[in-house]
A and B are shown apart, each in its own frame.
Chain A
């Protein structure tokens, strides 16, 4: 999750408190595992995720990004389970030695539906939540600011260091380094450059540490925030209700079985 994947459309979904969305994601995670039937995941996708995506005006990116991640997974899943599910007896399709069983397909459906649901929920979270807002909201909710810093600075420094690496590579080409097209040989040529780049990151860390201290990062005062994170009573209630529903999803089937 970098800010590059955040799609800022300013919709109501975007304006939800990030912790609300995170709690929703975690609740969904618990629910679809507690109730593993494929139609549970399908209800979540159709009833919650897709409408949210439409409201957030992220339907297109959701399908695009989600599809890119899911397509290979789903294809492999269907093939593997369809062809090789143990205990698969009911032949649905046959071609020589290969046969696809309906038990296998059903298994793939159950597992696949869960994966689809979770991936789409995660992607939707990333698309509608700026990482900075998420970190701020979590910090306000009690997470350590140092943890928030580690995540944010990593997210920002990785592209910054990558462009530094590009600049270093460019400078070496300007000194006659021929960079081969062959990817393996390319990596071989770049290796000696990467070592010092990484080392440079570590020696910079000391200076960055000083700069952070100079900005009061070690302060024990109660932190404030420049921008207010949106929240509402309804959301605060929802942040209790959703986990309760998730717990219920776990507990009720167990109780049902016992009875």
Chain B
């Protein structure tokens, strides 16, 4: 369980507030998406959730950040790190440079924590299989493409099996197939009880995999709800949140009076098929069609 209460944060050098009075509650064992425009404070929020603010970045942090019943600002960084894994936005910087092969890179974190050798080998093989990078294990991380490096960066945190995983745009460099694969892996992880917070832009996949979405806009949480509610909300443009084409088309249809105003907008392919598959003059889609 993650709970942020009245969290505000200002950068150390400029004193400019990036987050103001943020309240957030994340249930254990769920996938939570945080959406919003670039530069809205998502990276800052990711660092607060993982304890790097304030332990590493300084600045003024007020309010409380409680994870698993413990306040992060009272814990040493090592304890924060063992609770919350952080995948940063730039995969190149996540790669340590301390190891010469992808296999070594994946094991690096576990070596630091003193994980037994057999366990390390097992986890490396398992995670590499999950993310389909087994054929990259003997290559140097620096020879890889941006997308491959991103998969290695994600893998290097997955092997640590932290109860909470915070991921800042983990699919930014990936093609559609890779992006779907990563989201699929996140769903599997949720099945093992991991709490996942992912900062992302991709509406179709967030709708398919996330349990809840929070919108970060105007330095605070502007809205929270199910992916269906958030992604079909009329304020998505204002928030800087991407809506699927299905939603956009449905919105237009509603504006043109082709569907009743109260008809809930579809977000996914299946919902859109139901929405547009009906007869305009007979049955409007029912609220159960949208999640």
Contacts and interface: CB of A to CB of B under 8 A. Distances in A.
Query: Are any A and B Cβ atoms less than 8 Å apart in their complex?
Result: yes
Contacts of A209: 56
Contacts of B99: 132, 152
A68 B145 CA distance: 35
A207 B90 contact: yes
Q: How large is the interface on B (under 10, 10 to 19, 20 to 34, 35 or more residues)?
A: 35 or more
B114 A224 contact: yes
Interface string A140-184: 000001001100110011011000000000000000000000000
A227 B115 CA distance: 12
B177 interface: no
A210 B52 contact: yes
B124 interface: yes
B108 interface: yes
Given A213-B77, A223-B111, A152 B97 contact: yes
Interface in A111-157: 130-132, 145, 148-149, 152-153, 156-157
B160 A226 contact: no
Interface stretch (B33-41, B78-86, B204-212, B226-234): B78-86
Nearest to B97: A153
A255 interface: no
A160 B47 CA distance: 26
Interface of B is mostly: helix
B190 interface: no
B81 to A, nearest CB: 6
Given A213-B77, A219-B114, A207 B93 contact: yes
Contact of A225 (B57, B117, B157): B117
A187 B108 CA distance: 38
Nearest to B56: A210
Contact of A160 (B98, B120, B142): B142
B152 interface: no
Interface string A223-234: 111111000000
A98 interface: no
B98 A224 contact: no
A153 B100 CA distance: 9
B56 A226 contact: no
B120 A224 contact: yes
Given A214-B50, A225-B117, A207 B77 contact: no
A221 B113 contact: yes
Interface string B81-118: 11001101010111111111101100111111111110
Given A207-B90, A215-B108, A226-B120, A157 B97 contact: yes
Nearest to B84: A214
B96 A216 contact: no
Given A211-B96, A226-B103, A226-B107, A216 B113 contact: yes
A217 B160 CA distance: 13
Contacts of A160: 92, 97, 142
A216 B82 CA distance: 8
Nearest to B107: A226
Nearest to A163: B142
Contacts of B160: 215-216
B121 interface: yes
Contacts of A204: 90, 93
A211 to B, nearest CB: 5
A152 B111 contact: no
Contacts of A224: 110-111, 114-117, 120
Interface string A197-214: 000000010011111111
B100 A214 contact: no
Residue in B85, B111, B120 with the greatest tally of chain A CB atoms within 10 Å? B111
A95 to B, nearest CB: 53
Contacts of A110: none
B50 A226 contact: no
Given A210-B56, A214-B50, A152 B98 contact: yes
A156 B96 CA distance: 10
Nearest to B55: A213
B150 interface: no
B194 interface: no
B171 interface: no
Nearest to A139: B111
A222 to B, nearest CB: 5
Closest 8 CB pairs of A and B: A153-B97, A215-B109, A216-B112, A226-B107, A221-B114, A132-B100, A207-B93, A211-B94
Given A149-B97, A152-B100, A213-B56, 5 more contacts: A215-B157, A216-B160, A218-B81, A219-B114, A225-B117
